[in-house]
Amino acid sequence: MAQEESVENQSMATQLPEELLAKLREANESNADSGFNIASNFSDRYELGLVLGEGGAGRVIAAYDKNVRRRVAIKFIRSDKASEIALRYFLKEAKITGQLQHPHIIPLYELGMTENEEIYYVMKLVQGVTLDEILEGIRIGDKDMIERFPLPSLMKIFRRVCEAVSYAHAKGVVHLDLKPDNILVGYLGDVQVTDWGLARLRRGMEDMSELELVDIDEDVDFIIDSEKEKVIGTPAFMSPEQAIGNSDLVGTRSDVYALGGILYKILTLRAPANGKTTTAVLRRKLNEKIKHPLLYSEEAVGDNPDNVKLIHLPNCRVPRSLAAICMKALDEKLIERYQKVGDLMRDVEVYMAGYIPDADKGAGLNRHFSQFIYRNQKSIVLVLISIFAVLTSIIILLLLIQYTK
């Protein structure tokens, strides 16, 4: 949510260290393909407004583009985080986001440097809330959030996120920091996946299908060469292979795991792993089994403040099929997970259509029959009404015949 703070064009105070500025000037002057060269004229084009948020190396500010008369969001690199690695991440995020053109990936309009030598990029301004804010609102009993976002609406949001991530994978990009806080939901229902700062190109494109795909430009590729930078992502949602820093195993299935974590929070209103510190979260993730979502249906009562009633779910209970999909995506073994986001998305769509998904292999005949009733309930009601009408007509006819006799 926007903080009540405005920013003047000439007082950003986000200048980079002199050595980085020297690199940028040299790259711009020489036109060398170093990954640093960028050029733009900020001038009087943008009128800056409220600070929308800050975190990591970036600070996002609402602005008005005077040239085309539209509201935008501008992300600046923060001076207190402006190391060379932070700058590389910032530029990589801009270049990758700029090439991922999808309805559910926030579009980027411009990358440049102001007259004050502040690095920025301009993107679409999405007026809304994050999925994390939606789920937290439901958790604390916000009536507006509960009414606006029942489970079917949340699953539509989740499916759109899957579509965006599947598209990115087809372009050879893995996100590596998928979480509810990086999903924006606009007031008109549009969904945007944001924060591609940790994204990587798939090494060697090993998972490419036989389809002809368009690759991201080579200058976007960035190999982390520092041991301490190997563990990247948000601990509560990152995959086990990310948690141990195994870069050889990190890939598209790591994003599948994170999507499973997002679905887990949609169902239970909790992250798959919690802890007071990052170390505690990572230790729990690596040494403990994730609590099955179905168990939360049984614990949504009592005096424990963590026992939250799942008011957004049918009968306040986690649907078995969705729990099965969630746990398959969250399997610690890569081979047991969904191998592609498309496979996860297909199971979700099967569930939303009223069928039993492949992940829920243990479903008995009674559940299949229940799902049959659920997906055909309108037709069944119409048939019952028709039968009732026919029987009523027969009875009336018989009574009339009896009366005439």
Q: Which CATH number fits the domain that encloses residue 112?
A: 3.30.200.20
Q: Please check whether residues 241 and 368 belong to one and the same domain.
A: no
Q: Among residues 80, 99, 124, which one ends one of the domains?
A: 124
Q: Among residues 64, 93, 124, which one ends one of the domains?
A: 124
Q: Please check whether residues 168 and 195 belong to one and the same domain.
A: yes
Q: Please check whether residues 81 and 175 belong to one and the same domain.
A: no
Query: How many angstroms separate the CA atoms of 138 and 188, rounded?
Result: 19
Predicted confidence at residue 83, as pLDDT, reads 77
Q: Is residue 9 part of a domain?
A: no
Q: Please check whether residues 195 and 234 belong to one and the same domain.
A: yes
Q: Is residue 13 part of a domain?
A: no
Q: Is residue 405 part of a domain?
A: no
* Residues marked as catalytic: 177
Residue 110: Cβ within 10 Å count: 18
β-bridge pairing 70-77 and 58-65 = antiparallel
CA angle, residues 349, 351, 353, in degrees to nearest 5: 70
Predicted confidence at residue 377, as pLDDT, reads 73
Query: How many angstroms separate the CA atoms of 124 and 97, rounded?
Result: 11
Q: Is residue 2 part of a domain?
A: no
Predicted confidence at residue 84, as pLDDT, reads 78
Query: How many angstroms separate the CA atoms of 165 and 343, rounded?
Result: 12
Predicted confidence at residue 233, as pLDDT, reads 72
Q: Please check whether residues 181 and 58 belong to one and the same domain.
A: no
Q: What is the pLDDT of residues 236-278, one digit of tens each?
A: 898 888 888 777 788 899 999 999 999 999 999 999 987 666 6
Supply the pTM of this predicted model: 0.77
Domain assignment of residue 383, given as a range: 364-400
Q: Please check whether residues 142 and 273 belong to one and the same domain.
A: yes
Q: How far is CA 220 from CA 88, 91, 124, 223, 242, in A?
A: 10, 8, 21, 10, 21
Predicted confidence at residue 33, as pLDDT, reads 55
Low-confidence ranges of the chain (pLDDT < 70): 1-21, 23-41, 56, 79-81, 202-232, 275-278, 298-307, 362-376, 405
Helix axes 252-268, 320-329, angle to 10 degrees: 150
Q: Please check whether residues 31 and 173 belong to one and the same domain.
A: no
Q: Please check whether residues 120 and 203 belong to one and the same domain.
A: no
DSSP alpha helices (H): ranges in 1-129? 18-30, 84-99
**Through-space distance between the first and last CA atoms of the chain, rounded to whole angstroms:** 79
Q: Among residues 124, 149, 170, which one ends one of the domains?
A: 124
Predicted confidence at residue 29, as pLDDT, reads 65
Q: Is residue 393 part of a domain?
A: yes
Q: Is residue 339 part of a domain?
A: yes
Q: Is residue 3 part of a domain?
A: no
Q: Please check whether residues 190 and 293 belong to one and the same domain.
A: yes
Q: Is residue 7 part of a domain?
A: no
Q: Please check whether residues 178 and 274 belong to one and the same domain.
A: yes
DSSP code for 82: -
Q: Please check whether residues 193 and 114 belong to one and the same domain.
A: no
CATH of the domain at 159: 1.10.510.10
Q: Please check whether residues 357 and 392 belong to one and the same domain.
A: no
Predicted confidence at residue 10, as pLDDT, reads 38
Domains in the chain, number: 3
Predicted confidence at residue 247, as pLDDT, reads 76
β-bridge pairing 70-77 and 119-124 = antiparallel
